Structure 1
């Protein structure tokens, strides 16, 4: 009888150990996946909020252009040396912003 109780107690201990492992893995996933992603989203939001007319941008498709007009959700970007190529696009399509004096 005592032997049976000892086996049940050790099974409960292994269950507790499994719960601890799940918590540790969940914490590691948070610190290695979710937290850096949220930090990058905040950085991009600040970058897009600071975007001004005249800034050089790189789109998510790799095109370089100059911002010529900005609204709340959209911006108009001028591409290439031909000053007639103006394309309206969502701010979410901007990957990088470079100020005119930066290098």
Structure 2
């Protein structure tokens, strides 16, 4: 019983670490993956580097976007925001 009380603070630290650090990170990663999978051709997007464009082609891990200056091939993870849904909600 004495060993259990000595081990309890470490167990409590692990539980707190899990619920405040590990679990939210897993949730965020899942949401990002769902966002990447929900993209479709024609969506207006903004990349993490600030480029605005429209999706022209989709591949498994990459996306080709049309911008005012031409086409760019990027990783899907480089897209930070999808504007089509936000613009449709305002209208």
Q: TM-score range by the shorter chain?
A: 0.7 to 0.9
Counterpart Cα distance in 2 of 1:62 and 1:17: 53
Which residue in 1 is equivalent to 2:38?
A: 50
SS at match of 2:60: coil
Give 3-state SS (helix, strand or coil) of 1:25's partner. helix
Q: How far did residue 89 of structure 1 move?
A: 0.5
Under a length normalisation based on structure 1, what TM-score does the superposition of the two structures give?
0.73
Q: Aligned partners of 1:94 and 1:86: how far apart in 2?
A: 15
- Structure 1 residue runs without a partner (length 5+): 1-11
Using a 3 Å threshold, how does the CA distance of structure 1 residues 70 and 102 change in structure 2: closer, same or farther? farther
* 2:54 matches 1:69: no
Gaps of 5+ in 2: none
Q: 1:96 aligns with which of 65, 81, 85?
A: 81
* Residue 63 of structure 1: how far off its partner (Å): 2.2
Distance 1:96 1:21, change over 3 A: same
Counterpart mapping for 1:1-103 below 5 A: 13=2, 16-79=4-67, 82=68, 84-100=69-85, 101-103=88-90
CA RMSD of aligned residues (A): 1.9
